[in-house]
């Protein structure tokens, strides 16, 4: 296994704490505290916070420093609206562009999703299931759309983590396997309908998230990790 860098390890720990709602939207992420907790320099923490900000998981404020992003319900709806437009339109192209090699890749990804679903690591599970959607854009081979999808998937993963009902996962290997079956049958309209149905279903399982106003103790959250 490839050794992950200290920055990547810290990125993953913070991302996981956010996805598991141990760190709530709007919570302040103080560089000094994080540097002490993770035993690294402030420079490294700053780098991690900037990466998290690029993925829209963290918001950087000029005066307040870094905070966990607070996607609104409106933003959640807009992200899913954009996903329906792009992924719905892309579905036909996916069917046309998929060859044997691409099909193998998609099926191999299902195995990764099954492993992630068994891991009980919700952040990893969300990343893997969202990667399936980016993979479809990669098959079409339009790099502009791949970039759009990557950003959209990072935002969608955070929104799903924040707004989802506990113990409900609809973006799963099971649904994705059904999408692959339609691709294999070369059913363009079938894939368009199934993709839109899939995205509607994910959105329908999201609920309004009530923000809790309570102080956050960074040291307690990361103790024992």
Q: Which is nearer to Zn ion, 37 or 171 (CB)?
A: 171
Q: Which is nearer to Zn ion, 59 or 169 (CB)?
A: 169
> Which pairs count as long-range contacts for 190-194, CB under 8 Å and 24+ apart, including other chains?
191/91, 191/92, 191/94, 191/95, 192/88, 192/91, 192/92
CA 59/CA 45 separation, integer angstroms: 14
Residue number of the CB closest to Zn ion reads 171
CA angle 19, 8, 82 (to 5 degrees): 50
Neighbours of 12 (CB within 10 A): 16
CB 211 within 8 A of CB 70: yes
Q: Which is nearer to Zn ion, 40 or 196 (CB)?
A: 196
Q: Which is nearer to Zn ion, 110 or 221 (CB)?
A: 110
Question: Considering the complex, what minimum distance in angstroms separates the CB of residue 183 from Zn ion?
Answer: 14
Q: Which residues pair with 68 in a beta bridge?
A: 58
Contacts with Zn ion by CB under 5 A lie at: 171
């Amino acid at each position: 296994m490839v050794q992950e860098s200290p920055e990547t390890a810290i990125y993953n720990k913070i991302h996981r704490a956010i996805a598991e709602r141990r760190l709530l939207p709007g919570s302040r992420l103080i560089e000094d505290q994080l540097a002490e907790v993770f035993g690294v320099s402030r420079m490294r923490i700053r780098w991690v916070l900037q990466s998290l900000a690029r993925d829209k998981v963290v918001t950087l404020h000029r005066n307040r420093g870094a905070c966990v992003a607070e996607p609104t319900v409106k933003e959640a709806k807009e992200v899913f609206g954009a996903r329906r437009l792009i992924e719905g339109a892309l579905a036909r192209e996916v069917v046309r562009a998929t060859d044997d090699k691409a099909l193998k890749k998609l099926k191999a990804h299902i195995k990764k999703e099954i492993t992630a679903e068994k891991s009980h690591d919700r952040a990893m599970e969300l990343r893997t299931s969202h990667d399936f959607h980016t993979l479809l854009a990669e098959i079409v081979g339009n790099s502009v759309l791949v970039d759009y999808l990557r950003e959209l998937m990072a935002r969608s993963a955070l929104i799903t983590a924040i707004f989802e009902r506990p113990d409900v996962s609809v973006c799963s290997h099971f649904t994705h396997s059904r999408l692959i079956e339609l691709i294999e049958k070369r059913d363009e309209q079938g894939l368009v309908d199934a993709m839109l149905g899939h995205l509607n279903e994910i959105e329908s399982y999201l609920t309004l998230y009530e923000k809790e106003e309570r102080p956050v103790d960074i040291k307690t959250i990361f103790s024992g990790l």
